Amino acid sequence: MRKKIIAGNWKMNLTFDEGQKLTSEIVNMYKDEQVSDVTVVLNPPFPHLFPVKKLIGDTAGIFVGAQNCSDKDSGAYTGETSASIIASFGAQYVIIGHSERREYFKEDNELLALKVKKALENGLTPIFCCGESLEIREAGTHESNVKFQLTDSLFSLSAEEIQKVVIAYEPIWAIGTGKTASADQAQEMHQALRRHLASKYGKEVAAEISILYGGSMKPDNAKELLSKEDVDGGLIGGASLKSRDFIDIVKSY
């Protein structure tokens, strides 16, 4: 059975105190409001990883993840953080290939394939992001574009490895714009991605892979999006910075 996952991507937000406050609130609400079968992942900026992990403590169902990792193991790469360092601080997940990293840091499919491998080698679950720009959506080539991102970065993995990857479909035109994909648009793309995975790895393997939707998911649209058969959770930006909103999304499952 694939997991239901709601992951918060804090991006480059929140000071130490703000991060501690938000985490405490989320942990308390998660416990008090008995949210049981949804896996929650908090992905703060690097310096928060350890303190956030400490606050989560042994709360079952909540995990911490990074927003990026290096494609290298270790060495003279100033400013970079390796998957092994991330794992050593108790993180279990890492977002790889977010569209903001693709756009602002020129990360391409080939580099992302290396990062996914490093994450897996170090026992981290990669949350691999894919998604098309508005231009591509308007040209009608969104499906082939996103399939290509998967083929290029993930299809060198074995069947065993790919089952350890979480995929996040994040149409760029819906990120931070308040403009969400409709539930039908999301389902259409998630189904296409699952079929694409099945064409390479078989139906059974594809059925085990969680595919999250990301892009302006909020408490008022989460229920509809999450009700779709191939939508297995969400990767939340803005709304993950507000404990009430984030937990309400978790509870809309």
CA distances 40 to 6, 118, 157, Å, are: 5, 23, 25
Residue 98 falls in the annotated catalytic set: yes
Nearest-CA neighbor of 211 among 250, 168, 178? Answer: 168
Nearest-CA neighbor of 210 among 164, 146, 141? Answer: 164
Q: Based on CB atoms, which residue is closest to ligand 13P, 9 or 23?
A: 9
Q: Based on CB atoms, which residue is closest to ligand 13P, 19 or 215?
A: 215
Comparing every residue's Cβ against ligand 13P, the nearest one is 237
Nearest-CA neighbor of 81 among 72, 90, 126, 214? Answer: 72
Residue 170 falls in the annotated catalytic set: yes
Which range binds ligand 13P by CB under 6 A, 86-94, 169-177, 181-189, 220-228?
A: 169-177
Cβ 29 to ligand 13P shortest distance, Å? 19
Q: Residue ranges of the alpha helices (H) in 95-234?
A: 99-104, 109-121, 134-139, 142-154, 159-162, 183-201, 203-207, 219-226
- The residue annotated as part of the active site, out of 98, 142, 190, 196, is 98
First-last CA distance in the chain = 16
The interface mask with ligand 13P, positions 219-248, x = CB under 6 A, is: ----------------xxxxx---------
Question: Which member of 175, 186, 211, 250 binds ligand 13P (CB under 6 A)?
Answer: 175
Length of the chain: 253
Q: Please, is 61 exposed, middle or buried when counting C-beta atoms within 10 Å of its C-beta (0-12, 13-18, 19+)?
A: middle
Q: Based on CB atoms, which residue is closest to ligand 13P, 195 or 228?
A: 228
Cβ 215 to ligand 13P shortest distance, Å? 5
Question: Which member of 4, 5, 6, 9 binds ligand 13P (CB under 6 A)?
Answer: 9
Tokens for 241, please give them.
């910075």
Quote the CA–CA distance of 80 and 118 in Å, as a whole number: 13
Q: Based on CB atoms, which residue is closest to ligand 13P, 150 or 201?
A: 150
Q: Based on CB atoms, which residue is closest to ligand 13P, 31 or 179?
A: 179
Cβ 239 to ligand 13P shortest distance, Å? 6
> Could you tell me if 105 and 89 are in contact, meaning their C-beta atoms sit under 8 angstroms apart?
no
- The residue annotated as part of the active site, out of 48, 132, 170, 196, is 170
> Could you tell me if 14 and 241 are in contact, meaning their C-beta atoms sit under 8 angstroms apart?
yes
Enumerate residues 203-222 that contact ligand 13P by CB under 6 A.
214-217
Enumerate residues 71-130 that contact ligand 13P by CB under 6 A.
98
* Catalytically active residues, by annotation: 98, 170
Residues that bind ligand 13P (CB under 6 A): 9, 98, 170, 175-176, 214-217, 235-239
